[in-house]
Structure 1
């Protein structure tokens, strides 16, 4: 019987690779936990590979071929699933975000990427790379704005963001550009497309003072948590670890202003920027 055909990189290679993995695993009579054991990963990680929410790395692919007797199929085809226009530290998280049914995020410093305007994103990338060629910045901005099309659907994914007050107060770009960015955020709230809350300075110490958190839920795969630093990113799939970050997010959300109060504050600060009357 002929083996599986190599995947077409143009047709959702990660999803196809995941479907082939599930088929090959079940053919060998292995559970996700049993396949994960020799790879030193959890059964939930195997489930995420099969669902396409995690990318298959070459070192895993070679070992999977060995365990399942697939003749190098996964090692050959995993290259198509790892190509990305995003930086390496964020690529896997961006791809998981694209198929998430729910995204919950605490943003300590910046408006989340899915909610940024073009001038705001451009000012951020220029600050990150002050000597980069303009075409490099253009490519980064275009990739970020393309991500925002996830919100073109009127109902999914659910996006619930908690913004630290510092996000509103730190001027990114010119005052008018900052006003535009906050007005865009407010408009998304008024359209009932997102839920936004602001964690005020007056709340004091809170559970996420070490940094931001992004939680992603999926229809047919376990949830993920993503933590990002300067040029680094970490995607967590361990159930206990994800549960701990979910509690952290809930604690931050509980200390934030109500959605109504938050919208009023966002609109007020936007008006201040529009009149160049910054706090």
Structure 2
């Protein structure tokens, strides 16, 4: 049996919370399963909380306090751990952050924006300022740091395999200056060449296509059903209803079929970056030329 990996409680507030939970549980002589018995959660869920990689729901915190006789400690500190974990991210996005760490595959559709983990600082700042124009500078910086920390999703060799379909308008309608836009698009090309994600561009002249109503992200796991996540400017929602997720998966397959092949898409992104470097106006896509 492999040795148990101890939690470094000094790493973060959630890690400290998890380490304290493990200490209290073991001091009480209870296993993970014995601790969650009578709740709606499983032993693996509690294990992830102890490792500092998952947040503690309030109802589970209250259950743990009762089982371990900890006088409401975990309920009182639950909010502290939650606030620390969400730093730089919206509350509604927290479950997605946890899910993407466990995902085997991620499929994403970007109709108007480059996906967050691929964004560089100038692009992130432009997006944040557009949604939150009065945000204090320290809060904007916090969001920049939090988003850049998710870059591992497309850059780490152990990251999930990803497929990203982007609308051509993302290349043609810059949110930032030409030099910054050139660097941003070149970054996408560089990361894609690591072969951790496959890019496709959906041309502007495609006509009617799936997902015209907004963003979508599909995640599959080794030990859980797939989920679908959609988002607008100030809200997001995850759904694991099997029939609905299946509908989204089939729609995503049709979206990929309508997009340019990966190699042609990568060449188009690279050409767009070069145009920005040279100060050229973006050209409309000549699909026949690219295929």
Q: TM-score, normalised by structure 2?
A: 0.75
Q: Which runs of 5+ in 1 are unaligned?
A: 1-7, 29-34, 37-44
Higher mean C-alpha deviation, range 216-225 or range 170-179: 216-225
Q: Would you say how many aligned residue pairs link Structure 1 and Structure 2?
A: 257
Which of the residues 91, 95, 98 maps onto 2:98?
Answer: 95
Q: Secondary structure at the match of 1:278?
A: coil
Corresponding position of 1:131: 134
Aligned counterparts of 1:51 and 1:238: Cα–Cα separation in 2: 25
The residue aligned with 1:172 is 175
Higher relative contact order (CA 8 A, sep 6+): 1
Correspondence 1:11 to 2:21 = no
RMSD of equivalent CA atoms = 3.3
Structure 1 residues 260 and 51: CA distance shift in structure 2, 3 A: farther
Query: Retained in 2: the 8 A contact 1:51–1:221?
Result: no
Question: Per-residue deviation at 1:144?
Answer: 0.7
Counterpart-to-counterpart distance in 1, 2:67 and 2:112: 48
Q: Does 1:119 align with 2:122?
A: yes
Query: Which residue in the other structure is 2:82 paired with?
Result: 82
Distance across 2 between alignment mates of 1:186 and 1:142: 22
**Residue in 1 that maps onto 2:289:** none
Question: CA offsets per residue over residues 188-216 of structure 1, 9 Å max, x none?
Answer: 12222321001111221111111111112
CA distance in 1, matches of 2:225, 2:44: 7
SS of equivalent residue, structure 1 residue 208: coil
CA 1:221 to 1:195, structure 2 compared with 1: closer, same or farther past 3 Å? same
Q: 2:113 aligns with which of 107, 110, 113?
A: 110
Change (3 A) 1:233 1:10: closer
Q: For structure 2, which runs of at least 5 residues remain unmatched after alignment? A: 1-8, 283-291
Q: Normalized against structure 1, the TM-score is what?
A: 0.77
Q: 1:200 to 1:50 in 2, by over 3 A?
A: farther
